Amino acid sequence: MKRGLFALGCSVALLLYGCANFPTKGGGDNAATGKGGGKGKGKRGDAAVPVAVAKVKTMEVPVEIHVIGTVEPYATVVLKAQVGGEIKSVHFREGETVKSGDLLFSIDPRTMEAEVRRIEANLARDEAVLKQGQANLARDMQQAENARVQAERYERLTKEGVISKEMNDNVQSNMKALAEGVKASRASLESVKAQAEANRAALEAQKIQLSYAKVYAPVSGRTGVIASKPGNIVTPNVTELVSINQVQPVYVSFSVPEGNLAAIRQHAGKHLPVFATPDDGTERKQTGTLTFIDNAVDVSTGTIRLKATFGNGTNALWPGQFVRVVLQLEKRANSIVVPNQAVQNGQEGQFVYVVSENRTAEVRPISVGARVGENLVIEKGLAVDELIVTDGHLRLAPGARVQVREGGRGPGGGEKKRPTE
């Protein structure tokens, strides 16, 4: 019995001691000291929380669309042999950059050169025959003219009875025969002319074929793998020689949701800037211009295809490469922005802590827009020059007193440390 009473007494004493030392909400008397009416020091509810702050500010904010795009060559040319024969030499190296007009391949031209000489000989023969025909025609025309004059005189003398009708008939027949000879000479001459023109055209065609024995670069660009090496026999319009990609300039192709189409079309006439950054860790951002909007929305994906043109003077963009694309539609002036570290996520959405005039933290729900560098655009919830907390959120609660840390200015501009009120 004595042991039980002793244990009960010890428990009551410990309970009374703990109650006397528990901090009351209003910071009441400390029962352990026996001193009444004094304020407790260092109470957790009243301690000011050190924070870093920044002022809400405005700035000009670009309206942008961020997507992934693909680099495409400005032009791709696959060279094929236009004449048959053996490749005699290749005048470039694989992967080399070539200029328009550079000699790339030489095909054996001997057969074509022989054909050119044969046609040239035929043409020379035709021109000689043509000259002879022209001389014959001139002679026949002169004889026909003399016969006509003689026939007219004999016709007059016959009427006068000086010569017989039989002699006149002979002269008239001779005139008609010579006239027909002129027609025959003229027809023969025309035939020779046609033959000469045919040979002249054949010679021109053969010279064109001969020119195909040397293959030149049709565009400036970078060459690929050489498909036909020296010694290979090529077939006209079948055998591939090499492909050339024009990489200055280049296209960057990308797709955006169809919901952006109206805004893009609204600003399309303003040479919208497009920025492309290769996804290779170099951060070499390139600047181009939107130059193409597809004529239909892809119904399977709900996107519209766009293309931008980049000068690519440093070859930073490579065909087939994936790049991060930013299409800038416009710039909005006086947009409210805050440092991104000021925005917190809660169960009811995003919010910031606003420092009130009496140095207490107020929870403010906000609507967040686009990200601009280290800042976030605030669509709704804040006003310019309001003071917001950028660091120290973990110890904050609604209504808590705050103390601005020394050097605690955020990107938006803060305030220096002030005494605790």
Separation CA 250–CA 307 (nearest Å) = 10
For tokens 């042999």, the residue is 81
Q: What is the pLDDT of residues 47-100, one digit of tens each?
A: 888 999 999 998 888 888 899 999 999 999 999 999 999 999 999 999 999 999
Same domain, 89 and 149: no
Same domain, 200 and 114: yes
Domain end, chosen from 163, 196, 211, is at 211
Could you tell me the pLDDT band of residue 40, with boundaries at 50, 70 and 90? very low
Range of the domain at 7: 2-42
Between 27 and 150, the more confident residue is 150
Mean pLDDT of 402-407: 77
Identify the pLDDT of residue 46.
Answer: 62
Domain end, chosen from 314, 331, 348, is at 331
Residue 276 included in any domain: yes
Mean pLDDT of 182-192: 86
- State the average pLDDT for the chain: 83
Q: Are strands 103-107 and 214-216 parallel, antiparallel or unpaired?
A: antiparallel
Residue 363: which CATH number? Answer: 2.40.420.20
**Percent of the chain scoring above 70 in pLDDT:** 85
pTM for this model (two decimals): 0.60
Residue 416 included in any domain: no
Phi-psi region of 37 (alpha: psi -120 to 50; beta: other; left: phi over 0): left
Same domain, 239 and 249: no
Q: What is the pLDDT of residues 114-140, one digit of tens each?
A: 999 999 999 999 889 888 888 888 888
Residue 414 included in any domain: no
Same domain, 324 and 357: no
Tell me, letter by letter, the H, E, C secondary structure of the chain: CHHHHHHHHHHHHHHHHHHHHCCCCCCCCECCCCECCCCCCCCHHHCCEEEEEEECEEEEEEEEEEEEEEEEEEEEEEEECCCCEEEEEECCCCCCEECCCCEEEEECCHHHHHHHHHHHHHHHHHHHHHHHHHHHHHHHHHHHHHHHHHHHHHHHHHHHCCCCHHHHHHHHHHHHHHHHHHHHHHHHHHHHHHHHHHHHHHHHHHHHHHHCCEEECCCCEEECCCCCCCCCEECCCCCEEEEEEEEEEEEEEEEEEHHHHHHHHHHHHHCCEEEEEECCCCCCCEEEEEEEECCCCECCCCEEEEEEEECCCCCCCCCCCEEEEEEEEEEEEEEEEEEHHHCEEECCEEEEEEECCCCEEEEEECEEEEEECCEEEEEECCCCCCEEEEECHHHCCCCCEEEEEEEEECCCCCCCCCCCC
Residue 401 included in any domain: yes
Amino acid at 276: A
Residue 301: which CATH number? Answer: 2.40.30.170
Same domain, 92 and 232: yes
Residue 395 included in any domain: yes
Mean pLDDT of 212-228: 94
Q: For residue 75, what are its two tokens?
A: 């032009």
Separation CA 271–CA 58 (nearest Å) = 26
| Total domains present in the chain | 5
413 has a pLDDT exceeding 60:
no
Report whether 273 contacts 88 (CB < 8 A). no
246 has a pLDDT exceeding 50:
yes
Same domain, 98 and 230: yes
Domain end, chosen from 170, 187, 211, is at 211
Same domain, 9 and 98: no
Which of 255-259, 283-287, 307-311 has the lowest average pLDDT? 283-287
19 has a pLDDT exceeding 50:
no
Same domain, 238 and 251: no
Report whether 304 contacts 293 (CB < 8 A). yes
Residue 99 included in any domain: yes
Which of 37-46, 196-205, 262-271, 320-329 has the lowest average pLDDT? 37-46
Same domain, 121 and 192: yes
Q: Are strands 49-55 and 402-409 parallel, antiparallel or unpaired?
A: parallel
Same domain, 205 and 114: yes
Same domain, 367 and 230: no
CA nearest neighbour of 395 among 26, 42, 23, 50: 50
Mean pLDDT of 230-247: 94
Between 270 and 382, the more confident residue is 382
360 has a pLDDT exceeding 70:
yes
Separation CA 390–CA 412 (nearest Å) = 10
Identify the pLDDT of residue 250.
Answer: 95
Residue 96: which CATH number? Answer: 2.40.50.100
Same domain, 199 and 346: no
Residue 418 included in any domain: no
Report whether 382 contacts 368 (CB < 8 A). no
Residue 133 included in any domain: yes
Identify the pLDDT of residue 9.
Answer: 52
Angle, helices 110-160 vs 165-211, to 10°: value is 170
